[in-house]
Amino acid sequence: MIRSLTLLALLTIASPALAQGRPLEGGDVPAFSLRLGEMGFKPGVMQPLGNGSLGTTIMVDGDPMQIVFSECEGFETCDYLTLSATFSEIVNPPAAFVARENVRIDPIKVWVDQQQHLGFSATAVVQGWSEINFITWTRLISASRRQLMRDVIEAGLHKPGK
């Protein structure tokens, strides 16, 4: 976790030299959604998810992930952004596996949803980030997702073709 936070901190410090355009403001959901499209994430239509949250699916390195804006006022001004995904083919993973992955893989939180599917998420406050910082963060989450899937296969929890 320290390694990932250090990388993000260094990018934040270097961001004025790397910044492309105006900074990202996660609090302005309509503007942020437009920016996601401009950055190539191919967002779907934002939908209310309950509890004042909004969400849609975006593509990160070719993989679909749910992006959720939470702690929202009026479905426009939100405080937090979460990327998440579940693996519907991975059902009832052992608690020891989930616990090990939470210690091993940084920066995602690994969990089991209500349908007993393996899932993960990562949350951030995206205020003033450059596009490069945001893209770097999403790639870090995507790399963590790939590591989680390698670990699932190595643990024998997923059989290709099933």
Token code pair at residue 67: 């992006």
Neighbouring C-beta atoms of residue 138, cutoff 10 Å: 22
Cα-Cα-Cα-Cα dihedral of 38, 120, 101, 96, to 10°? -170
* Residue 149 predicted with pLDDT over 50: yes
CA dihedral 140, 133, 80, 119 (to 10 degrees): -10
**For 43-74, how does the pLDDT look when each residue is reduced to its tens digit (9 = 90+)?**
999 888 888 888 999 999 999 999 999 888 87
Average pLDDT estimate for 79-108:
94
| pLDDT given for residue 71 in this prediction | 86
Average pLDDT for residues 112-120, to the nearest whole number? 96
Q: Report, as an integer, the average pLDDT of 66-93.
A: 88
pTM of the model: 0.80
Mean pLDDT of 75-104: 92
Domains and CATH numbers, the chain: 2-15+22-154 (3.30.1460.10)
State what percent of residues in the chain have pLDDT above 90.
58
